[in-house]
């Protein structure tokens, strides 16, 4: 079946937007084709520096004829409604059919020729494409990410004719800006298109461009016994900056190797988009870099390497200037300057924040590790943790915050634990980032995040839906991970409002769900009012395991049965108060359950007091047989009201005893 090929050729598309643009093009084309009744056998899109391309295989030459019945107004509806319906569908009144008091119309739509539909679809895609930022140019009204130059659109080897804001569709495109022949070429199908691009030095597929870069870069390194420092984000970007990506290795003045490796790498990556190179034996950087050019230069890249090296030297000279300047001042002496840095209009300056974090660190430290020395070091680290924000280097490379502070603290000869805490206190910054576990670093990291959370919750800046501008979810997750990993028993309620506590519960659920655990159990445990995350998670763990056993499942069923009965009774009036008694003549299963629950109550209490959830679950398990037997043999709703009341009291006691472990009514399934 015929093929559709579309290329939107423009000036250079920002690298960071290309992958999403390919996805958007695919989604829009699929949806719009489907809306016209087309389901291509295959549809693929590509994005590169100058082009978005779509190829769809197996699109029929015309739409199938469509028959459909459309429901109209009711018989007797106002005249305008009927006229509107007829006008909308291009019908006359005698074509309507009356059924069950409603007008229906039978529409027969002749399938239209595919090119006509494609022309409409392309126009609608071009005019509504969701670029993050778009622009107009010259006198054109057309919005695109950068000026749109050509549209190649062929279906079944024929040009699909249309014109959008003066751009006429055709079967012509062009290759590499410099290495191509400079002459546009014709392509009537995807094979011709790909051949043409290959001939004119364009790699269409982003994945192929990445492979080409990695292969060549590794080879360059390998030849000199080096190793490329791989960087996924950088690779994505440089693959979007060149149509014929060609790695070139350049040299760096070895004197710069005395700068911290993070500084060299960041300067290379952020300013220059270079890959760093290291010695595979030691892991240390070597004085070289790999840049990814867009041409295979006629001198083999010597000029490019030399030019890039010169630029890098200038950059690293700047970095060295900052490094030396920064080292001439202590972190302590920078605090004054934080008073001039606004953290948030409603939350004061960065200095105010430092004071809050310091106070928090002092309060938190005893929970992390109850010795005076941890508190003292945590306070010192918290006080200095933000000082690097006003250093020259962090001004230049904000992503080095914390890391630079650590270096400066080290050079000042501060205590190693304090140095570590300054360096690591932003962690964990993502789900895969490591958690600081030493007590001083963990304390400061907790204080940093708790201050963020408490402060923004205080001014009503809570995340809503997809909006979380202050990354509060990440902060909450960080707090949870640090507490759990360091097994810090923190009464969160002392630090967090009810709102914030609920927010933590939500984040904990998300975390447990990601770890493949049941998250309904978090609600069941949180409902008890506990605010110690370590205890909560331990309880959830044990509960989860218990509910997976036969005893657990049956006991839960029994619990639900008991609660249902109690709920139904509660509707009629208050439940009978007091303790159940072992009544004369009661069935043995009733007496048995009274004994069992009485025993369980005492033992559960003891187990929970020592936080021995294993034992608590054992007590619950022991209860199961008695509960089952009771429901099996005993009718709660006895005709004798004394019997019924006694049995209801018994069920209340079972519910309450179990309720000390978790709110089982929140457990699903």
Partner 1 sequence: MTDKPLTFQGLILKLHEYWSQQGCVILQPYDVEVGAGTLNPATVLRALGPKPWRVAYVQPSRRPADGRYGENPNRLHQHHQYQIILKPNPENLQELYLGSLKAIGIDPMLHDIRFVEDDWENPTVGAWGLGWEVWCDGMEITQYTYFQQVGGLDVSPVAGELTIGLERLSLYLQDKDSVYDLQFNDDFTYGDVFLANEQQFSAFELDVADVATFKRQFEDMERMVPEILNSRGRQGQQLVLPAYDHVLKASHLFNIMDARGAIAVAERQSYIGRIRDLCKKCAEAYVAQQTEAA
Per CB under 8 A, residues contacting partner 1 are 11-12, 14-16, 49, 133-139, 145-147, 149, 177-179, 241-242, 248, 272-274, 291, 293-295, 297-299, 303-304, 306-308, 310-312, 314, 340-342
195 Rama class: left (phi>0) / alpha (psi -120 to 50) / beta: alpha
Burial code (b: 16+ CB inside 10 Å, e: under 16) for 434-452 equals: ebbebbbbbbbbbbbbbbb
Q: Which is nearer to partner 1, 303 or 429 (CB)?
A: 303
* Smallest separation (angstroms) from partner 1 to the CB of 8: 16
Distance CA 17, CA 2 (A): 31
Compute the least distance from the CB of residue 273 to partner 1, in Å.
8
HSE value, Cβ hemisphere, 13 Å, CA-based, for 389 = 20
Q: How far is the CB of 485 from partner 1 (least distance, A)?
A: 38
Q: What whole-number distance in Å separates Cα of residue 271 and Cα of residue 93?
A: 71
Using the structure block, give the residue that is written with the tokens 């962690």. 427
Nearer Cβ to partner 1 (14/287)? 14
Whole-number Å distance between alpha carbons of 442 and 484: 11
Residue 110 or 298 having the CB closest to partner 1: 298
Distance CA 651, CA 558 (A): 10
DSSP string, 509-530: HHHHHHTT--SHHHHHHHTTT-
Q: How far is the CB of 19 from partner 1 (least distance, A)?
A: 14
- As a whole number of angstroms, the distance between CA 4 and CA 286 comes to 50
**Of the two residues 13 and 228, which places its CB atom closer to partner 1 in the complex?**
13
**CA–CA separation, 316 and 324 (whole Å):** 12
Question: 237: which 2 tokens?
Answer: 């970007």
CA distances from 448 to 457, 463, 470 (A): 14, 18, 13
Helix (H), strand (E) at residue 641: helix 641-659
* Sign of the C-alpha dihedral computed for residues 517, 519, 523 and 526 taken in this order: positive
CB-CB neighbours of 482 under 10 Å: 24
Q: Which is nearer to partner 1, 39 or 135 (CB)?
A: 135
Q: How far apart are CA 645 and CA 629, in angstroms?
A: 19
Q: Which is nearer to partner 1, 303 or 564 (CB)?
A: 303
Query: Which of 25, 304 has the CB closer to partner 1?
Result: 304
Closer CB to partner 1, residue 145 or residue 441?
145
CB of 244 to partner 1, least distance (A): 11
* Residues forming a β-bridge with 344: 348
Q: How far is the CB of 609 from partner 1 (least distance, A)?
A: 56
Minimum Å distance from CB 119 to partner 1? 23
Strands (E), 11-101: 42-47, 51-57, 66-74, 96-99
Q: How far is the CB of 327 from partner 1 (least distance, A)?
A: 20
Cβ distance to partner 1 smaller for residue 178 or 222 = 178
What the block records as the tokens of 11 is 């000036």
As measured in angstroms, the least distance from the Cβ of 299 to partner 1 is 6
Which of 310/487 has CB closer to partner 1?
Answer: 310
Complex with partner 1: residue 87 or 141, whichever CB lies closer? 141
Angle between helices 15-35 and 232-239 (to 10 degrees): 70
Closer CB to partner 1, 315 or 518, in the complex = 315
CB of 130 to partner 1, least distance (A): 16
Q: Using CA atoms, how far apart are residues 367 and 483, in angstroms rounded to an integer?
A: 10
Cα-flanking dihedrals φ and ψ of residue 221, to 5°?
-70, -45
User: How far apart are CB 63 and partner 1 at their closest, in Å?
Assistant: 36
Q: Minimum distance from CB of 395 to partner 1 (Å)?
A: 13
Q: How far, in Å, are 260, 270, 322 from residue 319 at the CA level?
A: 10, 13, 5
């Amino acid at each position: 079946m015929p093929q559709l090929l579309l290329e939107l050729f423009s000036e250079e598309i920002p690298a960071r937007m290309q992958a999403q643009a390919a996805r958007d093009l695919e989604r829009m084309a699929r949806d719009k084709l489907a809306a016209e009744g087309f389901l291509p056998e295959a549809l693929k899109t590509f994005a590169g520096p100058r082009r978005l391309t779509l190829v769809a295989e197996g699109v029929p030459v015309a739409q199938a004829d469509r028959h459909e019945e459309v429901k109209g107004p009711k018989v007797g509806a106002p005249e305008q409604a009927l006229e509107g319906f007829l006008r909308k569908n291009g019908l006359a009144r005698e074509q309507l059919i009356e059924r069950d008091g409603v007008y229906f119309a039978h529409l027969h739509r002749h399938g239209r020729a595919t090119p006509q539909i494609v022309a409409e679809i392309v126009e609608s895609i071009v005019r509504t494409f969701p670029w993050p930022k778009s622009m107009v140019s010259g006198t054109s009204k057309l919005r695109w990410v950068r000026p749109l130059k050509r549209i190649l659109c062929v279906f079944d080897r024929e040009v699909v004719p249309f014109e959008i804001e003066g751009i006429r569709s055709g079967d012509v495109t062009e290759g590499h800006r410099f290495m191509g022949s400079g002459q546009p070429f014709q392509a009537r199908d995807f094979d011709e298109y790909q051949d043409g691009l290959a001939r004119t030095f364009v790699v269409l597929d982003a994945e192929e461009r990445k492979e080409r870069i990695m292969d060549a870069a590794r080879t360059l390194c390998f030849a000199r016994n080096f190793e490329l420092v791989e960087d996924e984000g950088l690779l994505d970007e440089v693959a979007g900056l060149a149509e014929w990506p060609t790695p070139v290795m350049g040299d760096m003045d070895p004197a710069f190797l005395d700068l911290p490796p993070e500084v060299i790498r960041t300067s290379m990556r952020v300013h220059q988009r270079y890959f760093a190179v290291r010695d595979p034996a030691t892991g240390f950087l070597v004085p070289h870099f790999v840049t990814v050019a867009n041409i295979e230069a006629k001198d083999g890249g010597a000029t490019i390497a030399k030019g890039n090296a010169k630029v890098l030297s200038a950059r690293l000279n700047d970095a060295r200037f900052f490094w030396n300047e920064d080292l001439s001042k202590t972190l302590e002496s920078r605090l004054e300057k934080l008073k001039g840095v606004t953290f948030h209009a409603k939350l004061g300056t960065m200095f105010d924040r430092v004071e809050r974090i310091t106070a928090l660190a002092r309060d938190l430290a005893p929970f992390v590790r109850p010795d005076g020395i941890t508190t003292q070091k945590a306070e010192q680290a918290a006080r200095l943790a933000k000082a690097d924000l006003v250093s020259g280097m962090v001004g230049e490379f904000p992503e080095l915050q914390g890391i630079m502070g650590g270096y400066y603290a080290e050079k000042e000869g501060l205590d190693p634990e304090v140095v570590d805490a300054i360096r690591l206190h932003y962690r964990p910054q993502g789900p895969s980032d490591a958690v600081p576990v030493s007590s001083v670093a963990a304390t400061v990291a907790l204080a940093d995040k708790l201050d963020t959370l408490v402060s923004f919750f205080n001014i009503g800046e809570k995340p809503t839906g997809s909006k979380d501008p202050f990354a509060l979810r990440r902060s909450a997750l960080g707090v949870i991970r640090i507490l759990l990993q360091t097994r810090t028993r923190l009464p969160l309620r002392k630090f967090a409002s009810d709102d914030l506590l609920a927010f933590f519960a939500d984040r904990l659920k998300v975390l447990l769900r990601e770890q493949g655990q049941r998250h309904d159990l978090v609600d069941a445990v949180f409902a008890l009012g506990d605010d110690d995350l370590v205890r909560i998670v331990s309880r959830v763990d044990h509960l989860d395991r218990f509910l997976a056993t036969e005893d657990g499942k049956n006991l839960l069923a029994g619990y639900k049965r008991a609660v249902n009965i109690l709920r139904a009774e509660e509707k009629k009036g208050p439940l009978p108060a007091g303790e159940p008694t072992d009544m004369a003549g009661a069935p043995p299963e009733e007496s048995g359950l009274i004994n069992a629950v009485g025993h369980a109550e005492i033992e559960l209490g003891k187990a929970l007091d020592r936080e021995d959830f294993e034992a608590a679950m054992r007590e619950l398990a022991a209860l199961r047989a008695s509960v089952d037997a009771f429901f099996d043999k005993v009718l709660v709703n006895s005709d004798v009201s004394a019997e019924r009341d006694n049995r209801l009291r018994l069920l209340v006691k079972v519910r309450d005893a179990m309720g000390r472990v978790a709110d089982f009514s929140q457990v699903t399934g």
